[in-house]
Structure 1
């Protein structure tokens, strides 16, 4: 019988060689492989290895202290390609001070790029990014002076007399994923995770380039005891499995709590038990925004005031079932957690993959979007990417 290769987190860190491109899959601290990330940091601090890494990530992956913050050491990562660093102060400092090569690409385009790479394509074409700072005729997503002289990682192409952005492939050497259970073959579930994310596309992208897939799990069960429909990644695609030794600290469902079954769809809590948002200026702004809602509207909530407040207001007002709230992570309905726990919700009606949600947003599109912003121009132009030296990223 096929058997998974079970190793320690320290051994997993030793599998990451100098100069590798590493791709962790998570959002905020949801699904972050903390055991492995901590060991990578420990190894670099003690030995100076692994060094010269390229860090590729679609979502922001931190709660201001953990997640990919563990990799924010000068010399450890040579290049970062990501979308959002608003909850990653060490990365923002390194980017602002040109201590790392830094490219910012749209979050959804990175998530979907994994799928394009997985199926053998050299990259991904999209209208998303045209005319923005991502456009190579503007800045090419280059976030500091160190990066500006470097080659573009996006192109402009023409198809059927129309312009498109072309996001180039980024071959993956090591993909880090997290699951709830795996069996003795390594077949992995994500049943207690609060998001589905883009786990399988990232895994298959890594395998396409001969990369290594390392999974962190809570528990191992007997082969054949997992419902095949619950398997997120077949064990044949996973090279190494790390069983978390301290799940209360390193395998939390999200930053603020270890596990709550109402955030992964296992139970529902009474709507009246969900605490209302306190009245302040943030609630005042969001409440005015919700007056624009109409029956049947499909809504997207961005980070900041929208995600933190709109769902709670709709629940208080008893209109949650008259609209459909969505978040980029792939959740539908319910009441969203906020702040460092962005992207998850209680009492959801549905949950799809992160990359699949971006298919919807890029394609059909929602009826109403509530956006967070840093700066707003007189013409309605929004900047949420870089305020002075603060490099939050586009998301």
Structure 2
């Protein structure tokens, strides 16, 4: 018997007060039609009321895929828990969900994506919750915000600090969903799901298990339905025994602003010459210097921002394949995409389900992470998750906290100041007008990465800007390199709210970074892996 029903029929199955988990990453894999149907049902009937929604990565992107904004209604939504939230340019109207969060209409939480997936797995196995050190001394820690995004959330904590086996841990109680809404490409008549046009598997299987094992229902949105028995068993990522209902949206987008690109789903491989390489500008200078931190043969995580261009630097320099890129949505290898398609990769080697990718990150199985910063504090802490004057632009932390918790090496990149007018002439950096907003501040507004905890763990931390390179040391932040054309006192020391340690071996950054020609990048090989003792915590 077919499990196919209409979106309206599926929306009618969601009871008042339900906990609903939604699988998506911004526009990637978003069951947009299903979320729209829930909002339309509420507008017509006033139900479902007071639901809690869980979004381990994010739902919707405000660029043609509204996602969570369809259900951002007073009376419909009672509480929301997300790894991140839709964002938009500062000139646009904030997403409705951000207005609800900012107005304190509902409790809203930003829990790291990996921890949210862990909470689902604990619920599926009927275990009490998650014990983790991920998030200690960051906004996740109850000693700070405890993941709360507003006053209503602060009054209803979702995390507490506990002692276990003589150590300090964070404890997140498992959350049991009554409904899971997931997405795939194809369902057969029995509800078996395949993902052949998707850019990632995300966490649909784990979310379905959490609902099924606790007596809930699973609704799958797909592009098409096929005859029972026509799918190859090895291609099925979510078996039909876990799927109760199937909704069809033949027009579902593959990801943000992308109807369908077979290279994103690994069905074809694009010729390397078809990938756009960055035009020469200040951001490219920074990305080039970040690339110089890499080793051949390493596995490197990428975050959004300037660092997302680093794979294109290697491509341009003839080094594609020297590094394996890993991103939180699950792609391994290939060429990570930019802008609205970030989170996808073309020509990938493999796709891992997001929960397992986060296990890889949380346990520091990878070699380095390339991430961005909004602010750097005097203690080395980094903020990427909150700026009070631009709240709907900073979308939350996503997997940032999971990734940085134990990473062996992290390279943060960004502009030294905000709003500076810069140019390059004769291989030198020229500051035409200084920025009005300093990004090296005494204390960051929101601690997404803890400098003191990093020092205690012995992590290697580098901050790269257009005008200098900085390193985190036990004694503070040390200036190790300066761009050609930059005046140390005026352009760097005076532009930081706190004193910098100037290395007695201060170097000038490679002048080749500041020219349009290739820089002749070469990567030292990563040392061969040897057996190390098991480490926990």
TM-score by length of 2: 0.70
- Look up the match of 1:374: 374
Asked if the contact 1:181/1:217 (under 8 Å) is kept, the reply is: yes
CA distance in 2, matches of 1:373, 1:210: 42
- Look up the match of 2:102: 96
2:140 is aligned with 1:134: yes
Alignment of 1:281-360 (within 5 A): 281-307=282-308, 309-360=309-360
Alignment of 1:206-285 (within 5 A): 206-244=211-249, 247-248=250-251, 251-285=252-286
CA distance in 1, matches of 2:256, 2:54: 22
Give the deviation of 1:100 after TM superposition. Answer: 1.5
Q: 1:10 to 1:318 in 2, by over 3 A?
A: same
Higher RCO (C-alpha under 8 Å, 6+ residues apart)? 1
RMSD: 1.6
CA distance in 2, matches of 1:260, 1:392: 26
Give the deviation of 1:221 after TM superposition. Answer: 1.4
Asked if the contact 1:21/1:55 (under 8 Å) is kept, the reply is: yes
CA distance in 2, matches of 1:22, 1:281: 44
Asked if the contact 2:59/2:86 (under 8 Å) is kept, the reply is: no
Alignment of 1:41-190 (within 5 A): 41-65=39-63, 66-87=66-87, 89-150=95-156, 152-190=157-195
How many correspondences in the alignment?
387
For the residue of structure 2 that corresponds to 1:322, the secondary structure is coil
- Look up the match of 1:392: 395
Asked if the contact 1:300/1:369 (under 8 Å) is kept, the reply is: yes
Uncovered stretches (5+) of structure 1, i.e. residues with no partner? none
CA distance in 1, matches of 2:77, 2:273: 47
CA distance in 2, matches of 1:341, 1:348: 14
CA distance in 1, matches of 2:96, 2:307: 25
CA distance in 2, matches of 1:61, 1:243: 18
In terms of fraction of residues, the more helix-rich structure is 1
Give the deviation of 1:86 after TM superposition. Answer: 4.8
Asked if the contact 2:129/2:174 (under 8 Å) is kept, the reply is: yes
Between 198-207 and 287-296, the greater mean CA deviation after superposition: 287-296
Q: 1:284 to 1:72 in 2, by over 3 A?
A: farther
For the residue of structure 2 that corresponds to 1:203, the secondary structure is helix
Q: 1:114 to 1:4 in 2, by over 3 A?
A: farther
Q: Which has the larger radius of gyration?
A: 2
Between 44-53 and 255-264, the greater mean CA deviation after superposition: 44-53
TM-score by length of 1: 0.94
For the residue of structure 1 that corresponds to 2:160, the secondary structure is strand
Asked if the contact 1:269/1:347 (under 8 Å) is kept, the reply is: yes
CA distance in 1, matches of 2:318, 2:78: 50
CA distance in 2, matches of 1:385, 1:257: 26
- Look up the match of 1:363: 363
Asked if the contact 2:32/2:60 (under 8 Å) is kept, the reply is: no
For the residue of structure 2 that corresponds to 1:259, the secondary structure is coil
For the residue of structure 1 that corresponds to 2:153, the secondary structure is coil
